[in-house]
A and B are shown apart, each in its own frame.
Chain A
């Protein structure tokens, strides 16, 4: 059994086939963590996906207004195949998880129908506020239900909901209380909390199956905007145009051109880069006094701003994320980066983000050198080249390696306070040469050591315990001498771009791409290269291909 719910710093991995060699081992034993649950074999079956907290919040804001705060926490989702989004296609719901959803739904329903909100959310007034009014309830539930279920409600579904509202109103002598009971029950039903997809025989390919129009609309909308379809998309599903290539293209162009694309892109990169885990990052307050909770939030925001600016506003090459000198900073981040961030907002206003460019010769460039990445993949009290290298392999290059075995005998264990071994490299090199560990560490640690100039809190340093830090190394045979050249080398690795395609397609589908669709993935990868590694184009290509909506026959 693993520490299932949040594979915080999950597995210790090695590329398959790499076997121990008799070279000096670089080992950080402490990075050996419990294994994450093994990914199930990829399927081509459409899977229902549980809404993520972010999606839930967005939908609630879209439907009921931006002042709807979610009170409470959702049951966590495990990260599977590198993505929470794939995990959402595998989770059930525990009794306590159900209760959390129910409590949250009760809070939202109560607020949506309170005296401040009911007048603009309920499109009618009940004949008598102390009794049931089925007609008025139905008007409200039709309007809201379609947005919550991402399709029109079937007649029997609507009847159930209206009956519940009527019964509640009569029992409790209040129309709005009855309506709230019906609404909160909708928000706890699987049709809402799971994105359920309906599979129908394909119109263009006889014998095959694909998603129906509403399910296509849902998949598109979550892929580009990470929320439920809007009215226009629902209409395109309803009138059949979404089932035509031209109608589909029109919607894809509209979604990709919307400012909400940034929401979708942020959600994807938070998932791929595992930035949800930043919520759990805390550094020792004595060793890293500048690393406050607010600084972590700013660090995450810095990287997301850098990514969306580069990919959307500049329409830049994905590979440029590993080398770009352009970023955004706040005064608080300035204290971590030790750069002066000038803020000219008027007195009393919140601090704002300022565009910043690392000057020529600065040791930082690319998102790997951001505080977010290096602090996330460190211990609370010190860095870990092993964890950082592993994160590089897993997160950025999609490389997988087996878990360390149980009952390993660490025959030689060195004292880390030994004055002979001052830097991480020296400590790690001095560690044991246990054959079964060496192979793994050889492929993680050199990459991580290149980032040793950045302390656990992301601050720049050139020495550790008085000894200079050596950041030389190689990755897949290509040499680098520091974080800058590491970024350049990584950006040119074929695995860096193919990894993005793999993750983005799995993210859109909510499952790993099955082997049977391997050729499709190759085509997509080729077009990514042809388009100069533009991510918005990649999203559009994925979304426009029929394979994106294919499914096995319903069972």
Chain B
């Protein structure tokens, strides 16, 4: 079997030979003269990726020394230097543990992504953002995981945890297979089967009241989640029935490589999955299929490792000696560098999509977060936080802000406001904040 996937092979497989209308090149009349906005003058939507990898970096070896613009990354982040002018970075931010016995490796992501450590019930940033900018797309959000595990950091509540897709091949088929409607297609005809399914789901939704009448409180909450998921599905079908707004840069990935991550947590596999997922997500954004995504690279207490090695990234953080000359753990730094390289790979896929005079990255925020300020000691002080991309002009970029002792929630709040989420305060307990990082905002 061919190791290369393209839309044609997927469609052939799925529809068993049914004739497919392939989208025609987009007509110029749909776009404004610059190609940076829709024909009706509305700007292209902002997009967001929450990109996660645990175990952070060694303190004092990643932070830029200079505050403001024109900074240089510390040695453990030097790979990012080429993207510096698109990156905002904050140092000194912390997660407040208050009196809660926060689990090692779990308090960091809770603080960065959920705004607090005391309850598992808080929604993650990507889901708050999706409620603001993801309701008119085919996918409200897409979650992926690169290490082969179905683990991720995206949830609406403690009982509604989004399962990430682990297979690039499956995600390709899902996005660009039979359900895909090219937004630039000249003629659009709604699929009668989709129409029928939508009315079927409406009939099921109508039973909500009856089904939730006699159940206990916790089951009622779960049924509410069920029905809001059903409603999302209905909306998704509705969107498939409408002629999509043209997107200039839309194209499906060409010669997409078939790839499945094998169990065993090999970092090379995770990096390949990250590259492929980046490509898929960038194309999905460029075609208006979604505006929000979450990528888990290798988890919080990350077991990523090299082939042939007994040790994992996580083991090294606790077991490797600090190199007396370098001042940090050498092998851990090697892994950290793999992470920044993966981040660069990811951003490059967004830059590869040209939109008007700029690229997809200009209207995106790729937010990096992690689980620790110093993995060796499970510290949640001085958490490295970064954005890549300009959020459609809402962010100034290329700025380093140092805010020692401030809550890490300031970062999330800033990102959400830049993306247009109507939110003035975020976080719980000591992690609550109303203060954005104004230096980042345009």
Interfacial chain A residues near B160, Cβ < 8 Å: 91-94
Contact with B311, one of A33, A381, A405, A413 (Cβ below 8 angstroms): A381
Contact with B215, one of A5, A6, A48, A403 (Cβ below 8 angstroms): A48
How many A-B pairs fall under 8 Å by CB? 264
CA distance A30 to B149 in the complex (A): 18
0/1 interface trace, chain B 327-350, chain A, CB 8 Å (1 if under): 000000000000000000000000
B196 & A406 in contact (Cβ 8 Å cutoff)? no
A77 to chain B, nearest CB (A): 10
0/1 interface trace, chain A 406-424, chain B, CB 8 Å (1 if under): 1111100111100000000
Using known A-B contacts A1-B114, A164-B200, determine if residue A92 contacts B214 with beta carbons closer than 8 Å: no
A413 & B233 in contact (Cβ 8 Å cutoff)? no
Q: Which residue of A lies closest to B296 (CB)?
A: A3
One of A14-22, A284-292, A303-311, A531-539 at the interface: A284-292
B7 within 8 A of A: no
Interfacial chain A residues near B158, Cβ < 8 Å: 37
B120 to chain A, nearest CB (A): 5
B312 within 8 A of A: yes
Interfacial chain A residues near B218, Cβ < 8 Å: 43, 45, 47, 90
A282 & B264 in contact (Cβ 8 Å cutoff)? yes
A45 & B318 in contact (Cβ 8 Å cutoff)? no
B200 & A185 in contact (Cβ 8 Å cutoff)? yes
B417 within 8 A of A: no
Interfacial chain A residues near B113, Cβ < 8 Å: 1
One of B38-46, B69-77, B222-230, B418-426 at the interface: B222-230
Using known A-B contacts A96-B143, A382-B310, determine if residue A554 contacts B216 with beta carbons closer than 8 Å: yes
- Within B390-419, the residues touching A (CB, 8 Å) are none
- Within A180-235, the residues touching B (CB, 8 Å) are 181-182, 184-185, 188-191, 196
B200 & A413 in contact (Cβ 8 Å cutoff)? no
Interfacial chain A residues near B109, Cβ < 8 Å: 1
A1 & B110 in contact (Cβ 8 Å cutoff)? yes
CA distance A93 to B228 in the complex (A): 9
B132 to chain A, nearest CB (A): 16
B156 within 8 A of A: yes
CA distance A93 to B101 in the complex (A): 29
- Within B265-323, the residues touching A (CB, 8 Å) are 265, 299-301, 303, 305, 307-312, 314-315, 318-321
CA distance A95 to B164 in the complex (A): 12
A94 & B106 in contact (Cβ 8 Å cutoff)? no
A301 within 8 A of B: no
Interfacial chain B residues near A181, Cβ < 8 Å: 196-197, 200
A126 within 8 A of B: no
Interfacial chain B residues near A284, Cβ < 8 Å: 264, 305, 307-310
Interfacial chain A residues near B124, Cβ < 8 Å: 1
B157 within 8 A of A: yes
A168 within 8 A of B: yes
CA distance A188 to B227 in the complex (A): 11
Interfacial chain B residues near A100, Cβ < 8 Å: 163
CA distance A416 to B309 in the complex (A): 13
B84 within 8 A of A: no
Using known A-B contacts A91-B159, A379-B312, A405-B104, determine if residue A98 contacts B233 with beta carbons closer than 8 Å: yes
B207 within 8 A of A: yes
A406 & B102 in contact (Cβ 8 Å cutoff)? yes
Interfacial chain B residues near A171, Cβ < 8 Å: 192, 195-196
CA distance A540 to B371 in the complex (A): 47
Q: Which residue of A lies closest to B377 (CB)?
A: A409
CA distance A5 to B163 in the complex (A): 7
Q: Which residue of B lies closest to A284 (CB)?
A: B308
Interfacial chain A residues near B307, Cβ < 8 Å: 284-286
Using known A-B contacts A380-B264, A405-B104, determine if residue A172 contacts B193 with beta carbons closer than 8 Å: yes
Contact with A287, one of B223, B226, B236, B310 (Cβ below 8 angstroms): B310
0/1 interface trace, chain B 420-439, chain A, CB 8 Å (1 if under): 00000000000000000000
A404 & B319 in contact (Cβ 8 Å cutoff)? no
A508 to chain B, nearest CB (A): 18
B97 & A406 in contact (Cβ 8 Å cutoff)? yes
Interfacial chain B residues near A182, Cβ < 8 Å: 200
- Within B100-122, the residues touching A (CB, 8 Å) are 101-107, 109-110, 113-114, 117, 120
Interfacial chain B residues near A43, Cβ < 8 Å: 218
A160 & B378 in contact (Cβ 8 Å cutoff)? no
Q: Which residue of A lies closest to B374 (CB)?
A: A407
A119 within 8 A of B: no
B33 within 8 A of A: no
B201 within 8 A of A: yes
0/1 interface trace, chain A 1-31, chain B, CB 8 Å (1 if under): 1111110100110000000000000000110
A50 to chain B, nearest CB (A): 9
- A-B residue pairs in contact (CB < 8 Å), sample of 14: A4-B155, A6-B149, A29-B319, A30-B312, A30-B319, A92-B226, A97-B163, A280-B263, A282-B262, A379-B310, A405-B104, A406-B107, A406-B380, A410-B377
Sample of 6 more A-B contacts, CB < 8 Å, known A30-B312, A33-B301, A188-B204: A4-B152, A11-B103, A34-B104, A92-B159, A92-B160, A285-B264
8 smallest beta-carbon distances between A and B, as pairs: A282-B264, A35-B103, A282-B263, A92-B225, A29-B318, A381-B310, A30-B315, A1-B110
